[in-house]
Structure formats: C-alpha cells, structure tokens
A and B are shown apart, each in its own frame.
Chain A
C-alpha cells in the first residue's frame, strides 16, 4: 500500500514534467502539442548517448539533455506551429502530430528501432521507509519534479518573462497591446517545455532502464491526461493531475494487474473529457471558447472531371487483373483500395461533418475483431460476417462515441484518440474473448459459398467491390438531406442547431456510417492477414488515413481514394522511400496544410 503510493508519487513526478510543458504550450499557443512526447523521446536519447557513449556523469548529461531538447522544442515551434499561428487550433493539432511522426521515425532511422538499455550512473543504494523501499533514483526524481515545479512557479510569478507568458496565455491580443512580443513568448515556452520533456524522458529511461523510439506516444497521452485533469493551461493543476494519474495507475497495477496501467489512464482521460472537460479543480463547467465551426481548415470544391473519366477509370481498374501477370501491383492496389475505404469513411466525419477524428483505427480494430471472433468461434461464413461485423462494430462504436459528441475541436479529437486507444487496450485485456496479447490467428481467408479467395486478383476485386459500395453509399448520403445537415454542422454548430439539427444525433449518424465502412475495411484486412492482435491497427494508422483525406481533399470521395492510392502506392513503387514512409506522411501533412489545405483534388472556393 505504502509502496504503491510511493511508486505513484515517483511516476507522478515524471508525468508532471511532461504535463507542465503541455499545459504551458496550450496556454500560449492554444494547442495540445502532440509532438511533445517525441521531444521527450529525443531527450532520452540525448541523455543515453551522453551516458552510454561518452560516459558522462549524470549532471552534465542532464544539462546536455535540457539544452538539446529545448532546441528540439524550438524547432517544433518554428516548423510546425509558428507558420500556422493564425490558422486555428485544429490545424495546429495536425501539424504537431506530423512533427511528432517525423521525429519518431527519424529516431528509428538514426538510433535503430530496437530498445536500448540505459543504466543509471547513480549510486545503487536504497533504504526502507515505512514498509516501502526508496532508491536514490526515486529521491532524485522527486527532487527533480518538485524542484522544477518550484522553479517554474518562481519564473511565472516573479520574473518579467514569466508575467509575459501568463499574460499571453490569458489574452494573447491584449498582451500584444501591452508590448509583449508574443512570438518570443511562444518560442520561450516551447524551449522550456522541451527542456522539461527531455528531462522527463531521460529520467523515465533511467527508471525503467531502457528507451525506445516510440516511447513518446505514451508520454504525450499521459501528459495530456494529466494536463486535462488539472485543466488545460493551468500549471499547478497539471502537477496535481500528474500525481492523481500516477497514483491511480500505481493502485490499479496493484489491484488489477500491470496490463491495466494504460487502460486506467485512458479511462481517466475519457472520463475527464466527458464529465469535467475543464479539469477537476475548475469551477466553470462550460468549455473554453473553441471555434463553433468544426475544423477551421479551409474547404474547397471538388475538381470537375469530364463525365466519362470516373466510369472509365473504374472499368479499367476492374479490368486490371486481366492484363497484369505480376501479382505484386495487384496486392499493393488491393491494400490501397482497403485504405481508400477507410479514407472515404473517415471523410464522412472529418470532411463532411468537419470533426477531426484521431481514432479511426479503433473502428477498424472493432470490425477486425468482430469478424475474427464470429468466424472462428461461432463458425459464421465470411460472406455473412462481412455484413454482420460492420453492423456490430458501428453499434459499439456509436455507443462509445456518443457521450463525447457534444465536445468540439481539439477536445473531440483527443477523445477520439483516447477511444481508439481504449478499443485496442480492451482487446489486450479481455483475454477470455480476444486472447489478449496473443491475438487471434488462423482467421479463415475471405470467400463466398465455400470458395475461398486466395489469389491476388481475387483479393483485389473483392477489395475494389467493397470500396465501390462504400463510395456509392457515402456519396448518396452526402448528396441527401442528411449530407446537408452534416455540412451545416461543420460550418456553424450554433446556427445548425438553431435550424433544428440535433447535433449529437446527426454526429452519431455520421460516426455510425463511418464506423460501418471502417469496420468493413477491418474485416477485409483481418481475413487477408489471417492474424490480428491488439496492436495491428494503431494510432499511426488513424493518422495515415487522416493524411490521405487531407492530401486528396476533404468532403471529396474521389480525392480520398486518390489520396489512399498515392500514399500506399508511392512508397511501394519508390523503394528507398519505404523506410522514410512515415516521415513522408508527416512532411506531406505539414506541406499540404501550409500550401494547399483544401487538398489536391479540391479547388479553392
């Protein structure tokens, strides 16, 4: 009991170091910085290089980490935040995600994807305290966390620059009119937040004795959770939130098992977003003003094609297997069609309805697991499962999302990310049904009436057929009364409601239809891979699909499919790009949002 509390406090301090940065950046720049965890990861690697390669003692290593990760923080601000400062918070959310994606994958290329051991250069002694053991590192982490918090407090309340930070966070335009250079405040905040994050990354590496390139994802998640628990923008709140999170996790590990650590964090995240979006200690129940319109990403009009072009492309795509003897392009294109289906379905949420969803992988996972379980446990044939599983997944998906649908902008985006994560964590922990981390293997190949489809040409045609159905349904929906209602919500939620559009109801229809086709894509993938596990479809997939529709053009089915084909086929056809695939996605995302935010297949209105 005492041991758990101590453990929770130590972890809480580590979370606090990331959470204060997230909360400070939110205050100054108005965005939940999704690249924060990546700065933390780079900080850990800088410390690892100093300790393991250069054999530096801990203190100079920490100084190097602070300086290096402050510089990385500044870089994020310059490349992904400053150019978009006037574009609105949803775009910033996407550009910081892209920056994180680029850093995580660059780290894999530079330092390798494997886990690196990080041995603490600190003395190894420990002592007993009231039934628990305390190590020197524990004390060091406590001191670092509390010390940073105190220093930050002194900075914010006693220094001129600190006042400028607070003033900018409370009212950017008013601060400008006092003569505060808000750009410098923004740089300063990113540098400070980066330094704290890097320190946190190094200390976490020392605590668990290892580091790896994707360690930042959970730091972003935990830091954001802690910051939300304290109320975004509230520094003392973030520290309190970090302790709440650390201690909750420690006790759930003790009582439920170690695999429940992340699930409890997600439950806290979603719970606070839905019930107290302004944090545990805030008196206000209403949300901070976010734009009433969904995304604030400029929308264009679909490009016009000659009438014959789309049917001609469709027919030639169907005839392609007749002319290709090499199965490889067919396999690649089959994958592209499945991703096209995901993109078309996400388009309904993020394009037509204008809500950023970062949890699309969750719907794919739901469909894949539903079908895997129905066909292997209950012996349902594939043809039936292809119909039933998406219905199941859509029903579960809407039930899960429904409470979150009154949230907007970044808050909804973070909730969808949390839900996506929750779905794969439930798959991980519900071993009786999902076989937990083992996953489900030997899933039957797709087939109809007892004839299995195993040839590349067959898979290709099956994927294409399902894609066509998806495109047709989404197209019909979006041209109907329903589509107009969804677009009205995108343009102005308040106005839409004033015209009698029930927001939650229409958003759940959009999420439901979207989940249906995402799940159908999941069914196709599960049966063609013949194996799925909780980590088959991850957050990276959600971002990949989102990139596809931003590339192709939102609210444009043709653009979505084209975006999928480009993003799947391009890295395959240019071999050396394979390793750089996700870096390419990140760069494309930032570049498109900067220079052609309405997408390749839309024109500006």
Chain B
C-alpha cells in the first residue's frame, strides 16, 4: 500500500517544553488511520505539525513521498490536505453555505464545486436544511456535519479529523463514525486523532497509540482492539 503521509522523527516544542519525541508515523492511501492517546499525549499537536501550524524543531514531513517539511499551511492545503479541526472551528458568523464554499476556497472549477455541493447535501441531509442559517447557531452534531462537508468540498487527498466525536451525544457519535466510514469507502484517505479509542478502532484500519509524545503502540485496528496495553497507555485510565 502506498504511503501518502509520513512523519519522520519529529521533535516539536512549545517554548522550552518538548511535545514530541522522535515521533514517526505513516498513513497509507485509501485507509483510515487513527492516532489515539490520552490528554496531553501530543495528538492535536501532531495534527498541527502535519498542517504546518506548528513547526517541528527537527524531523521531516512527507506528502506522497515529497518532502513538505518547509511548506506553509496554504501550500499543504493546496496539495490536498483538508481538516476537520478540533471543536469543528466553523466560521461562526458565516452561513452554512458560505462555510461549505470556504472549503472549496482554492478550487477554481465553480461548476464542479456546485455539483459537489449537491452531493454533500445528499450525504448530509441535515446540512441542506440549514444552508442559510448562521453556523454559530447550529448544534454540535450539525456543526460536525458541516465541518466534514466543508473539508470534503476541497476534494481532499487526505481528510484529517481532530477528535471528530468530541462533545457529541452518543447518538451523534455513531452517526459521525458511520459517515467517516462511508467517506472512506468512497475513496478518501482518512487520518483521525481520537481520544475515544474503542470507537475509533471500530472503523479504522490501522492505529497508533501516542503516549508522552511518542508512539507507544502501533498495529492494525483489530490487533489494537484486543491489546490490553492500549488501556494502560492512557495514563492508567481505562479506554472508554
């Protein structure tokens, strides 16, 4: 399987505090890869390093074999990275329609964008009902739908999701996981950061468990689901 995203020996710092210690991971094209870990294990910072929002002090980032370590965020997005950020991060005063079209900001094929928008409304019917509503007034689950549709409108080569189930009701968690699976089956590579390990591993192909900024465990999803060490990797807490 072709590796489409790779971090090599990444060391990231916030001021004097080191977040990542020689973090290495890779994502295969066409799969769902999840990065698991407890609070402060460095998951979200890994996502930021992938997007160039945080610059590692040492280490390298590859996108489809091309070194992207020194690319700025807009260039990585232009390459085909799209994100569903932590806590959704919709543009709160823009309408749902405007939010969706911001996802296609870099695309010039307006007719195709309009078609894709229609497809998104089929995939996320709830979003269609809210098109002219200001995004800040949506519920958490609805915002998650919009954020996913927004990212997909950019026709991502890799869809990156930061804690897609965070803050959602159990009903919405299941729905979101199903959608991620659907999106992946339609051909999009998915990389997701999750705290909710059991839920994420149910749909993922492969997983990494992060602890104190370095990979503690790695394997296929079914291996990890059966591995009791996954639980202990969470600072002694148990996996939900």
Chain A residues with CB under 8 Å of chain B are 160, 163-164, 166-167, 170-171, 173-181
Contact of A167 among B74, B78, B102, B106 (CB under 8 A): B102
Provide the residues of chain B in CB contact with A174, threshold 8 Å.
85, 89-91
User: Does A173 contact B85, Cβ atoms closer than 8 Å?
Assistant: yes
68-82 of chain B: CB within 8 A of chain A: 72-74, 77-78, 82
Q: Which B residue sits closest to A233, measured CB to CB?
A: B93
Provide the residues of chain B in CB contact with A179, threshold 8 Å.
73-74, 77-78, 105-106, 154
User: Does A176 contact B74, Cβ atoms closer than 8 Å?
Assistant: yes
- Listed by A's residue number, 10 A-B pairs whose Cβ atoms lie within 8 Å are A163-B101, A167-B102, A167-B105, A170-B91, A171-B92, A176-B73, A176-B77, A178-B106, A179-B73, A179-B74
Alpha-carbon separation in the docked complex, A40 to B133 (Å): 38
Given contact pairs A174-B89, A174-B90, enumerate 13 new A-B contacts (beta carbons under 8 Å): A163-B101, A166-B91, A166-B93, A167-B94, A167-B105, A170-B91, A173-B89, A176-B51, A177-B73, A177-B89, A179-B105, A180-B74, A181-B72
- Given A160-B105, A167-B102, A171-B89: A177 and B77 interface contact (C-beta under 8 Å): yes
* Interface Cβ pair total, 8 Å cutoff: 61
- Given A164-B105, A178-B102, A178-B103: A170 and B78 interface contact (C-beta under 8 Å): no
User: Does A170 contact B73, Cβ atoms closer than 8 Å?
Assistant: no
User: Does A178 contact B105, Cβ atoms closer than 8 Å?
Assistant: yes
The reply to whether the CB of B53 lies closer than 8 angstroms to some CB of chain A is: yes
User: Does A167 contact B85, Cβ atoms closer than 8 Å?
Assistant: no
Alpha-carbon separation in the docked complex, A171 to B91 (Å): 6
Contact of B77 among A163, A164, A167, A178 (CB under 8 A): A178
Q: Which B residue sits closest to A179, measured CB to CB?
A: B77
- Given A170-B93, A173-B85: A163 and B74 interface contact (C-beta under 8 Å): no
User: Does B53 contact A170, Cβ atoms closer than 8 Å?
Assistant: no
Say how far A237's CB is from chain B's closest CB, in angstroms.
Answer: 12
Closest 9 pairs between A and B when the two form their complex, measured CB to CB: A179-B77, A174-B89, A179-B106, A170-B91, A176-B73, A177-B83, A178-B105, A181-B74, A178-B102
Chain B residues with CB under 8 Å of chain A are 51, 53, 72-74, 77-78, 82-83, 85, 89-94, 98, 101-103, 105-106, 150, 154
Say how far B181's CB is from chain A's closest CB, in angstroms.
Answer: 23
Alpha-carbon separation in the docked complex, A171 to B90 (Å): 8
Say how far B58's CB is from chain A's closest CB, in angstroms.
Answer: 20
Provide the residues of chain A in CB contact with B78, threshold 8 Å.
179
Provide the residues of chain B in CB contact with A167, threshold 8 Å.
91, 94, 102, 105
Alpha-carbon separation in the docked complex, A170 to B106 (Å): 18
Provide the residues of chain A in CB contact with B106, threshold 8 Å.
178-179
User: Does A163 contact B105, Cβ atoms closer than 8 Å?
Assistant: yes
Alpha-carbon separation in the docked complex, A177 to B83 (Å): 7
Contact of A177 among B85, B93, B98 (CB under 8 A): B85
Provide the residues of chain A in CB contact with B154, threshold 8 Å.
178-179
Say how far B170's CB is from chain A's closest CB, in angstroms.
Answer: 27
Say how far B186's CB is from chain A's closest CB, in angstroms.
Answer: 21
Alpha-carbon separation in the docked complex, A75 to B150 (Å): 35
- Interface hub of A160, A177, A181 (most chain B Cβ within 10 A): A177
Provide the residues of chain A in CB contact with B94, threshold 8 Å.
166-167, 170
Provide the residues of chain B in CB contact with A180, threshold 8 Å.
74, 105
Q: Which B residue sits closest to A174, measured CB to CB?
A: B89
Alpha-carbon separation in the docked complex, A479 to B91 (Å): 46
Say how far B37's CB is from chain A's closest CB, in angstroms.
Answer: 21
Say how far A157's CB is from chain B's closest CB, in angstroms.
Answer: 9
Q: Which A residue sits closest to B73, measured CB to CB?
A: A176
Alpha-carbon separation in the docked complex, A170 to B98 (Å): 13
Alpha-carbon separation in the docked complex, A251 to B73 (Å): 51
Say how far B68's CB is from chain A's closest CB, in angstroms.
Answer: 14
- Interface hub of A160, A174, A180, A181 (most chain B Cβ within 10 A): A174
Provide the residues of chain B in CB contact with A175, threshold 8 Å.
91, 102
Provide the residues of chain B in CB contact with A171, threshold 8 Å.
89-92
Alpha-carbon separation in the docked complex, A179 to B83 (Å): 10
- Given A176-B73, A176-B74, A180-B74: A163 and B89 interface contact (C-beta under 8 Å): no
User: Does B51 contact A177, Cβ atoms closer than 8 Å?
Assistant: yes
Alpha-carbon separation in the docked complex, A115 to B57 (Å): 54
Alpha-carbon separation in the docked complex, A164 to B73 (Å): 15
Alpha-carbon separation in the docked complex, A166 to B90 (Å): 12
Alpha-carbon separation in the docked complex, A219 to B67 (Å): 49
Alpha-carbon separation in the docked complex, A177 to B92 (Å): 15
Q: Which A residue sits closest to B84, measured CB to CB?
A: A177
Provide the residues of chain A in CB contact with B72, threshold 8 Å.
181
Alpha-carbon separation in the docked complex, A142 to B151 (Å): 43
Provide the residues of chain B in CB contact with A178, threshold 8 Å.
77, 102-103, 105-106, 150, 154
Alpha-carbon separation in the docked complex, A180 to B103 (Å): 10
Say how far B112's CB is from chain A's closest CB, in angstroms.
Answer: 16
Q: Which B residue sits closest to A166, measured CB to CB?
A: B94
Provide the residues of chain A in CB contact with B90, threshold 8 Å.
171, 174
Say how far A27's CB is from chain B's closest CB, in angstroms.
Answer: 10
Alpha-carbon separation in the docked complex, A183 to B135 (Å): 25
Provide the residues of chain B in CB contact with A173, threshold 8 Å.
53, 85, 89
Alpha-carbon separation in the docked complex, A173 to B89 (Å): 9
Q: Which B residue sits closest to A605, measured CB to CB?
A: B16
Provide the residues of chain A in CB contact with B73, threshold 8 Å.
176-177, 179
User: Does B105 contact A170, Cβ atoms closer than 8 Å?
Assistant: no
Provide the residues of chain A in CB contact with B85, threshold 8 Å.
173-174, 177
- Interface hub of B74, B82, B150 (most chain A Cβ within 10 A): B74
Say how far A464's CB is from chain B's closest CB, in angstroms.
Answer: 41
Provide the residues of chain B in CB contact with A166, threshold 8 Å.
91, 93-94
Alpha-carbon separation in the docked complex, A164 to B94 (Å): 11
Alpha-carbon separation in the docked complex, A279 to B138 (Å): 24
Alpha-carbon separation in the docked complex, A166 to B95 (Å): 12
